[in-house]
Amino acid sequence: MPEENNTEVTQEESLENYTIGDYLLDRLAELGLTELFGVPGDFNLHFLDHVVAHRSIRWVGSANELNAGYSADGYARIRGIGAFLTTYGVGELSAINAVAGSYAESVPVVQIVGAPPKETQASGRKIHHSLGDGDFKHFLRMAEEVTCAHADLDAPTATWEIDRVLRDVVFRRRPGYLMLAADVAEVAAYPPSEPLTTDLPVTTPRAVAAFEEAVRRFLPGRRTAVLADLLVHRLGATEELASFLTDSELPFATLAWGKTLVDESDPNFVGIYAGAASQERVREVIEGADALITLGVEYTDNTTAGFSMDLDPARMIDVSRFGARVGDEVFTPISLQDALAVLHRVTTELDDVAPMPAVHAPATQTPRDPAEGPLTQDGLWSVLASQLESANIVAADQGTSYFGMASHRFPAKSTFIGQPMWGSIGYTLPAIIGAGLADPSRRPVLLIGDGSAQLTIQEMGVMIREKLPVVVVLVNNDGYTVERAIHGPDEVYNDIAPWRWELVPRLFGAEEEDYLYRRVTTEAELLAACKDTMSNREKLVFIEAITDRDDIPQLLEDVANALKR
């Protein structure tokens, strides 16, 4: 526990006008943050003065707090850390859905809440944005359920608490919550005196040695394959995974949650594993392996067609966040990186580790001649996949967009963003803004349905204001198609209000010369629109793709059938 008064100093003792708010911003900048999303409110306005004056961090005002949280999530998936600012009560509760999604999906996002001054809180008066009962900790207690660390910052210990929360956010890859009272933000403080330590020790040499011994006993003579998933990315081990796969030459797959974690143009990549909904060649390799190495895998109902995987734990080496298992032997504590190093070493040293024969799919998505007739879901995703470029950031909203695109191969260095665990529709529209700002060198692509877009469309104004050259493919299939597939295909509750989508960019501030709109009803029209996209790289491109109301991708049909049971 820190000593009292370690941050509450006079202005003369610190740098001129340096405050606790400045300390928080400097720590976020140290972690790589250069954009802070959010919505102003009376309890965070003075802190915002420090934000706009900061040398490294830029304010990005959002249309609402929920969208700010989604944008910070998308930003964190690319940059490794994200943050957003709301006001107390009304603002933070608007965003709690986004924070819960970041928690469920293991995304390190920091929520900063501007709260009433400490003296005001102590008075117990009925203050606006509160519940009027004098208890100002209600919302902090709510946040405890969807964050890995939280703090109500107090001047004497504020910098210590900031470091603790940020350290936990980075280490655990989960959201954190900082309640920053308006007066505490203005209290003088010393700047950071040393770098923030986030690489906390996890592995013990004894666990590594025991794990390696077990792996050396387990692998010889077995036909081996690899199944990787999103935790490899979240825990920062993608380079180690790529090196392991290249040198071992083992066939590999991912779940849809971990799509683009690996190079999908690699000939040893067999596809996306989705339990019983997998393509046959993927099931042959993954379920038929004598030894299956699973790395950072977490199984969900959406990514396994209702937990329909056929995997025998006795034939598996499983590596998770902080431990590993070989058959029925468990080894802890060991980090995913250290476990990967062991597997890399053993598979390249042993002569009798036999790669499971892979039934190779094409290394890239092969373009085909446009089909005749109305645009179908199969045609939509096949054409789009064939037109993707290396290093695109593709965000696919939950529904036909996510499941339609997940089964197609992406070019090398692409990034696929989705939310299959939390599944909050509309998430990807603000998230692609965050992702695009996190790496402006890569072109963002948004795939979203009409129903999902109606939930978060206000953020298109931010997309236009920030001049992001997003390629928006809006699937207009007249309502909630996923819900129709699960239950009530003709019921009124799965209908939505029809919109004039061609007018949306103008509504949110785009000049005619700043964007391109195309409405497509056939594969040929879609292909032509994609070609137009490539010749308009600096513009927002809005493609409205018309598909039949009841047409769904095969993978989504399999998942929907599983969810019905």
| Topology (CATH level 3) of domain 377-564 | Rossmann fold (3.40.50)
Output the pTM of the full model.
0.94
Give dist(CA 55, CA 57) in Å, integer.
Answer: 6
Per-residue confidence at 498, pLDDT binned at 50, 70, 90? very high
How high is the pLDDT of residue 475?
Answer: 98
185 or 487: which carries more pLDDT confidence? 185
Q: How far is CA 534 from CA 199, 369, 470, 539, in A?
A: 41, 19, 12, 10
How high is the pLDDT of residue 372?
Answer: 83
Across the chain, mean pLDDT equals 93
372 or 128: which carries more pLDDT confidence? 128
Domain boundaries, the chain: 17-186, 205-355, 377-564
The pLDDT tens digits of the residues spanning 4-38 come to 444 444 444 446 789 999 999 999 999 999 999 99
Average pLDDT over residues 493-497: 94
How high is the pLDDT of residue 11?
Answer: 43
Pairing mode, strands 329-331 and 324-326: antiparallel
How high is the pLDDT of residue 565?
Answer: 65
The pLDDT tens digits of the residues spanning 173-191 come to 999 999 999 999 999 999 9
Average pLDDT over residues 96-111: 99
How high is the pLDDT of residue 364?
Answer: 54
Three-state SS for 101? helix
Per-residue confidence at 363, pLDDT binned at 50, 70, 90? low
Q: Is the pLDDT of residue 3 over 70?
A: no
Contact 228, 241 (CB under 8 A): yes
* Cβ neighbours of 311 (radius 10 Å): 19
Q: Is the pLDDT of residue 494 over 60?
A: yes
How high is the pLDDT of residue 369?
Answer: 73
Contact 49, 59 (CB under 8 A): no
CATH of the domain spanning 205-355: 3.40.50.1220
Give dist(CA 389, CA 476) in Å, integer.
Answer: 24
Q: Is the pLDDT of residue 237 over 60?
A: yes
The pLDDT tens digits of the residues spanning 427-441 come to 999 999 999 999 999
Per-residue confidence at 238, pLDDT binned at 50, 70, 90? very high
Q: Would 17-186 and 377-564 be classified into the same CATH topology?
A: yes
Q: Is the pLDDT of residue 360 over 60?
A: no
Catalytic residues: 42, 65, 128-129, 423, 450, 477, 479, 483
CA angle 380, 381, 385 (to 5 degrees): 125
Average pLDDT over residues 412-419: 96
Average pLDDT over residues 501-509: 97
Q: Is the pLDDT of residue 367 over 80?
A: no
The answer to whether the annotation marks 479 as part of a ligand binding site is: yes
The answer to whether the annotation marks 477 as part of a ligand binding site is: yes
The pLDDT tens digits of the residues spanning 317-349 come to 999 999 999 999 999 999 999 999 999 999 999
Per-residue confidence at 362, pLDDT binned at 50, 70, 90? low
Contact 427, 398 (CB under 8 A): yes
Q: Provide the 8-state DSSP code for 274.
A: B
How high is the pLDDT of residue 368?
Answer: 67
- In 236-371, the DSSP E strands lie at 252-254, 269-272, 291-295, 316-319, 324-326, 329-331, 354-355
563 or 98: which carries more pLDDT confidence? 98
Q: Is the pLDDT of residue 71 over 90?
A: yes
How high is the pLDDT of residue 555?
Answer: 86
Q: Is the pLDDT of residue 1 over 70?
A: no
How high is the pLDDT of residue 361?
Answer: 56
The answer to whether the annotation marks 550 as part of a ligand binding site is: no
DSSP letters along 508-544, please? TT--GGGEEEEEE-SHHHHHHHHHHHHT-TTSEEEEE
How high is the pLDDT of residue 358?
Answer: 60
CATH classification (class only), 17-186: alpha beta
The pLDDT tens digits of the residues spanning 156-169 come to 999 999 999 999 99
Of 565, 560, 516, 521, nearest in space to 542 by CA: 516
Average pLDDT over residues 296-306: 94
Percent of the chain with pLDDT over 70: 94
* Cβ neighbours of 212 (radius 10 Å): 20
